[in-house]
């Protein structure tokens, strides 16, 4: 059998690193990985040097991208700046997410015109779906105000769809596991309908695109964990706090936003599952995996320092800050 050649960008990321590990289990693949050179990427990727072609570089730099663009059969493009950084620094996010995608697409059009381009977009493109949480790919793209990241993903989707390459786009649901807790936890309204997917299942979808080009070609899919991965955000946080030893979810009124975030249930999420069969985790599995990561010592520590930890978390709540400062604009953004 012919050796197929795969390029993976963003290989040290939460999803990317899982993709890398799974790609290595597939026979007859020549794998090239590309990532920004950082302490984290060096730590995670250098050990794979003898198994893959490892190239560090800047996705926005034409010379760097030229080095990885030739003779590829599959390109899994994950390199991106994600929230909260993307929303705090919209210009770099636009440059990396949108212009980086344009750069990569243009180089591939020249040097690998027959490759299959697999792009990772996000559920954030649908915006606030509190009222109508069942989401389909044909729904309007109406990002929440201030969601700069979603705008970069919408612009990139357009670049991909208008390219001369063959492509597929996956709009990723809430990927849970592997990300650090951030101020974003307070941007999500507690009554949000949440469908998660683990990084492992998400990665499996990307890896299983290999050999499935015909079924995926020029189509956009919602990628989520399915019915067994659904919960409301409050329930999700309650169980997470329990696992970490943080006790009850006891935050004051106005700590959490009431609107203008994203997430929902993917009504047509089974379309991708029926083609790729990538799901293996339910919510129960997710919580078990997370619980295993928390050592008894960590859990005891968290129970002892529950109060200061929650105080520290609460300090990051922008909705509460907006309320306290009576910041009209932000209050309108976060509350009814």
Binding residues for ligand UPG (CB under 6 A): 10-16, 35-36, 38, 41, 59, 78-82, 96, 120, 122, 172, 175
Instruction: Report the nearest approach of ligand UPG to the CB of residue 125 (Å).
Output: 10
| C-alpha–C-alpha distance, residues 281 and 289, integer Å | 10
Q: By the 8 A CB rule, do 169 and 121 touch?
A: yes
Q: By the 8 A CB rule, do 72 and 65 touch?
A: no
Judged by beta carbon, residue 197 or residue 309, the one nearer ligand UPG is 197
CB hemisphere CA count around 64 (13 angstroms):
16
Judged by beta carbon, residue 172 or residue 231, the one nearer ligand UPG is 172
Instruction: Report the nearest approach of ligand UPG to the CB of residue 220 (Å).
Output: 14
194 burial via Cβ count (<10 Å: 0-12, 13-18, 19+): buried
Instruction: Report the nearest approach of ligand UPG to the CB of residue 202 (Å).
Output: 7
Instruction: Report the nearest approach of ligand UPG to the CB of residue 178 (Å).
Output: 7
Instruction: Report the nearest approach of ligand UPG to the CB of residue 231 (Å).
Output: 18
Instruction: Report the nearest approach of ligand UPG to the CB of residue 326 (Å).
Output: 34
Pairing mode of beta strands 116-122, 219-223: unpaired
| C-alpha–C-alpha distance, residues 69 and 223, integer Å | 26
| C-alpha–C-alpha distance, residues 117 and 320, integer Å | 42
Judged by beta carbon, residue 14 or residue 103, the one nearer ligand UPG is 14
Which position's Cβ is nearest ligand UPG? 13
Instruction: Report the nearest approach of ligand UPG to the CB of residue 3 (Å).
Output: 25
Judged by beta carbon, residue 84 or residue 247, the one nearer ligand UPG is 84
Pairing mode of beta strands 53-56, 29-35: parallel
Q: By the 8 A CB rule, do 7 and 32 touch?
A: yes
Written as six digits, the tokens of 208 are 């299983």
Judged by beta carbon, residue 173 or residue 275, the one nearer ligand UPG is 173
Counting every residue written for the chain, the total comes to 336
**CA torsion, points 201, 204, 208, 213, in degrees to nearest 10?**
70
Q: Could you tell me the sign of the dihedral formed by the alpha carbons of 118, 124, 129, 130, in that order?
A: positive
Q: By the 8 A CB rule, do 336 and 258 touch?
A: yes
Pairing mode of beta strands 116-122, 166-172: parallel
Judged by beta carbon, residue 35 or residue 147, the one nearer ligand UPG is 35
Instruction: Report the nearest approach of ligand UPG to the CB of residue 80 (Å).
Output: 3
């Amino acid at each position: 059998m012919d050796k197929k050649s795969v390029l993976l960008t963003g290989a040290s990321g939460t999803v990317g690193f899982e993709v890398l590990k799974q790609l290595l289990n597939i026979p007859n693949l020549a794998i090239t990985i590309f990532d920004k050179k950082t302490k984290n990427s060096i730590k995670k990727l250098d050990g794979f040097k003898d198994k893959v072609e490892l190239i560090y570089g800047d996705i926005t730099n034409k010379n760097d991208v030229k080095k990885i663009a030739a003779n590829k059969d599959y390109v899994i493009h994950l390199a991106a700046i994600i929230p909260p950084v993307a929303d705090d620094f919209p210009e770099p996010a636009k440059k990396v997410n949108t212009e980086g995608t344009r750069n990569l697409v243009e180089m591939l059009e020249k040097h690998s015109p027959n490759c299959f381009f697999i792009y990772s977009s996000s559920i954030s493109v649908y915006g606030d779906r509190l009222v109508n949480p069942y989401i389909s790919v044909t729904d309007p793209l109406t990002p929440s105000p201030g969601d700069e990241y979603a705008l970069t993903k919408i612009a990139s989707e357009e670049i991909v769809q208008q390219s001369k390459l063959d492509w597929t786009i996956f709009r990723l649901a809430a990927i849970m596991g592997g990300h650090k807790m951030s101020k974003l936890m307070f941007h999500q309204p507690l009554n949000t309908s949440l469908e998660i997917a683990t990084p492992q299942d998400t990665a499996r979808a990307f890896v299983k695109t290999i050999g499935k080009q015909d079924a995926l070609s020029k189509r956009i899919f919602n990628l989520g964990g399915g019915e067994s991965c659904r919960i409301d955000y409050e329930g999700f946080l309650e169980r997470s706090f329990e696992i970490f030893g943080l006790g009850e979810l006891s935050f004051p009124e106005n700590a959490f936003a009431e609107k203008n975030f994203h997430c929902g249930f993917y009504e047509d999420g089974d379309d991708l599952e029926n083609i790729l069969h990538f799901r293996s985790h339910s919510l129960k599995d997710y919580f078990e995996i997370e619980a295993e990561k928390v050592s008894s010592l960590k859990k005891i520590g968290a129970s002892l320092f529950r109060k200061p930890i929650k105080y520290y978390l609460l300090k990051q709540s922008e909705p509460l800050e907006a309320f306290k400062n009576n910041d009209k604009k932000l209050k309108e953004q976060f509350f009814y």
